[in-house]
Structure 1
Amino acid sequence: MPNPSSPQVAVIGAGLAGIACARTLTRAGASVRVFEKALKVGGRMGSRQTPFGSFDHGAQAFTVRDPRFETALRTVPESIARWSTPAVHVVDPLGRITEAADRSEVRWVGTPAMEALPRAWAAPLADAGALVLGTRVQVVERDAVDSSRWQLQTLGDDGSVRVFAGFDAVLFATPASQAADVLERSRLAPTFVERLRGIEVAPCWTLMLAFPQAATALGPAWNAAFSAHHRVAWVARESSKPGRGPVERWTVHASPAWSQEHAGDDPQRVEAKLRKAFAEVTGIRAEPSHTAVKLWRHAKTLTPLGRPHLWDARLGLGACGDWCLGHRAEHAFVSGLELALAALAR
């Protein structure tokens, strides 16, 4: 049950930024409710489960540069592992290595799948009943009982409309355009809306392929590469990651420009084009037993905010996300952490 004497905070979005924000607030004694339109936490730190094994179809790996991120990761050592097998190469459109492997920075993954990390950090929130999943925030408005506080109008997956009230602060941890949509609909914070509309983010089509019939590893000697192919930006052998199943599986991220150009295309057409590009880059022309595609509409920040968060102490409104600083998982964590600290200092 919320403690009425503690700051009451609503966090909208349960990706890595939202979980980091809520986790920091809770550890400082605030009472937090986290609202997420999906049915699970993690956002692009999510994983797709299939009969052939998991796919990290969003974030492929993460690096650790900020000491605060490193300290937080130490709290969940069982949920992460060093991706030590592959060196990340740069390859031409035919998969030929054009630059020496990047061995200068360690890459980490969630284990047994990427979603394990946000799930581990969100577990105390779930245990406390602070996660409200499958719920989309439609409007933020002044509380009907106490006009110094906020209330949220929400729409559930089942069509139910609910009102959650009594919040001292409302913090958005969603893609910038989604936060702007809610604020515009709520007729709030026009300065925030203007800043949020200035964030440029590219989509990303993701292709997933499984080859359970393969007795040995298929294709190139490398396991992960940035690609110069006009359709493909990244290719990785999922089965090379620690804690994954042995079935040969590959994930392909389309380039930002190609994804933007084909964002409205039929998924079957996208799949066919990306499979052709995958074969050109890797040399793998075997027929997969499983294929799937997903469009991430808010994947790669092109024009970031340039600061860790937005925060208006007078209104008690804020926004965070990887789009504040860039597009890395670490950017999302730092943004959520720093917004929480700003809200606590109010």
Structure 2
Amino acid sequence: MTPKSRPASSKKSKPPAPRRIAVVGAGIAGIACARTLAQAGHQVTVFEKSRGAGGRMSTRDTEFGSFDHGTQYFTVRDARFEKALASSPGLIRPWSASTVRILDALGRVVASALPPKEAHWVATPGMNALVRHWAQPLDDAGQLLVQTQVTRIEPDALHPERWQLQTEGEGASSHVHSGFDTVVLAVPAEQAHALLVSSQQSPALTAQIAPVNVAPCWTLMLAFPQVPQPTLPLLGPHWNAARSTHHRIAWLARESSKPGRSQIERWTVQASPEWSERHLEDDAERVKAKLIKAFSEVTGIRAEPPYAEVHRWRFAQTTEPLGKSHAWDASARIGACGDWCLGHRAEDGFLSGLEMALAII
């Protein structure tokens, strides 16, 4: 058989040339997307406005121990997420609060939230350890730019068919990063929407994500280092995590009950979406006082905490998701991903970033 008569199916096609891709946001969605693209041979740069990777899977370190003040735990339901976790042995451990209690407004246990077979998992020594571990190869290669906020997306000045990003860093220093074939916004939907509008780019993508709604959350962190270790189980309730119907509080967790953490008695308390929305712009000290009062009402712990701080998440829990794994404008080559596409779980963020990368590939 001559080459001319060889069936087309036997011809080997060349793999597509590597593309330069910018990923804005280094939470679990952004890092899952960036790693998948990098493993496929593309040149990826991740831009993160904070000091490190993690997003809402963040950990606050204090002199009394750490607080997972964002995502408290995760469950595993998708085989792809399970496989990714298996690639990071030693980082993930089950948390004994697998059966979360449900409390009434007076703090009384009325039910259990999840069946005992669905385990709660945490990263050690803090929730941010998982995303930072996955981001490490990108960081080592100089592809993770932290404390770098993207402020505008615009056509590349030298190659208009590509994109350039205007950024601000420490000390309000500005810079332009150019030559990107594709841009992925792995940030909260409201932030992605605002960036697209201010940049006057991709009306199609802007319209796709406009209906998404994500509620805010005030988070309270408390430490009681004065409590002697032998009496720890006697301080407050005999459960480690609970959902509450109290008008201010939606979630409480004993941080010291998580594996790999300091044993100093610590609690993370997350306010309800409704209460957080009403008090979003309140003074932090006023919010702290109100949440400490609610905490004592729910748990019965009246001791004065030597450490008490609050953190405001403007975008925390999705109330109106996109309804699909990602948003993509193929003609503009701009996409968006995040847990808000599917829901609000950590696994949703991972799957969204993965699916976004596969759509690009």
Say yes or no: does 1:124 pair with 2:141: no
Shift in Å, 1:13: 0.4
**Which residues of 2 match residues 216-235 of structure 1 at below 5 A?**
216-217=231-232, 218-235=235-252
| The one of 70, 76, 80 aligned to 1:68 | 80
Name the structure 2 match of 1:290. Answer: 307
Name the structure 2 match of 1:80. Answer: 92
Q: Structure 2 CA distance, aligned partners of 1:101 and 1:342? A: 35
Shift in Å, 1:88: 0.8
Contact 1:208 1:252 in 2 (8 A): yes
Name the structure 2 match of 1:184. Answer: 197
Contact 1:89 1:97 in 2 (8 A): yes
Per-residue CA deviations over 1:126-165 (Å, capped at 9, x if unaligned) read 0110001111111111111112211111111221111111
Evaluate the alpha carbon distance shift between residue 164 and residue 282 of structure 1 in structure 2; reply closer, same or farther with a 3 A threshold. same
Q: Structure 2 CA distance, aligned partners of 1:85 and 1:323? A: 25
Shift in Å, 1:196: 2.0
Amino acid at match of 1:135: T
Q: Structure 2 CA distance, aligned partners of 1:132 and 1:319? A: 19
Contact 2:322 2:341 in 1 (8 A): yes
Amino acid at match of 2:37: L
TM-score by length of structure 1 reads 0.96
Shift in Å, 1:5: 5.0
Per mean C-alpha deviation after superposition, the further-off stretch among 116-125 and 146-155 is 146-155
Q: Structure 1 CA distance, aligned partners of 2:184 and 2:307? A: 39
Say yes or no: does 1:309 pair with 2:326: yes
Q: Structure 2 CA distance, aligned partners of 1:80 and 1:255? A: 28
Q: Match of 2:90, SS?
A: helix
Q: Structure 1 CA distance, aligned partners of 2:190 and 2:99? A: 35
Q: Structure 2 CA distance, aligned partners of 1:242 and 1:69? A: 21
Name the structure 1 match of 2:54. Answer: 42
Name the structure 1 match of 2:6. Answer: none
Q: Give the greater-gyration-radius structure (CA).
A: 2
Say yes or no: does 1:113 pair with 2:126: yes
Contact 1:80 1:116 in 2 (8 A): no
Say yes or no: does 1:19 pair with 2:31: yes
Shift in Å, 1:87: 2.7
Q: Structure 1 CA distance, aligned partners of 2:66 and 2:221? A: 10
Q: Structure 1 CA distance, aligned partners of 2:95 and 2:146? A: 31
Runs of 4+ in 1 over 3 A off after TM superposition: none
Q: Match of 2:56, SS?
A: helix
| The one of 204, 217, 230 aligned to 2:217 | 204
Name the structure 1 match of 2:346. Answer: 329
Q: Structure 2 CA distance, aligned partners of 1:11 and 1:228? A: 38
Shift in Å, 1:310: 0.6
Q: Match of 1:77, SS?
A: coil
TM-score by length of structure 2 reads 0.92
Per-residue CA deviations over 1:61-118 (Å, capped at 9, x if unaligned) read 0000111000000111222111125531101122211014632311101101111000
Structure 2: stretches of 5+ with no match in the other structure: 1-15
Q: Structure 2 CA distance, aligned partners of 1:188 and 1:155? A: 19
Say yes or no: does 1:93 pair with 2:110: no
Q: Structure 2 CA distance, aligned partners of 1:209 and 1:269? A: 15
**Which residues of 2 match residues 243-254 of structure 1 at below 5 A?**
243-254=260-271
Per mean C-alpha deviation after superposition, the further-off stretch among 4-13 and 223-232 is 4-13
Contact 2:98 2:118 in 1 (8 A): no
Name the structure 2 match of 1:155. Answer: 168
Q: Match of 1:178, SS?
A: helix
Q: Structure 2 CA distance, aligned partners of 1:335 and 1:133? A: 22
Per-residue CA deviations over 1:170-196 (Å, capped at 9, x if unaligned) read 000001111111111111111221222
Q: Structure 2 CA distance, aligned partners of 1:325 and 1:85? A: 25
Name the structure 2 match of 1:266. Answer: 283
Q: Structure 2 CA distance, aligned partners of 1:185 and 1:260? A: 25
Contact 1:86 1:223 in 2 (8 A): no
Q: Match of 1:188, SS?
A: coil
Q: Structure 2 CA distance, aligned partners of 1:147 and 1:266? A: 46
| The one of 133, 136, 150 aligned to 2:146 | 133
Contact 1:17 1:333 in 2 (8 A): yes
* RMSD, aligned α-carbons: 1.2
Q: Structure 2 CA distance, aligned partners of 1:101 and 1:226? A: 8
Work out the percentage of aligned pairs sharing the same amino acid: 58
Contact 1:207 1:293 in 2 (8 A): yes
Name the structure 1 match of 2:13. Answer: none
Say yes or no: does 1:281 pair with 2:298: yes
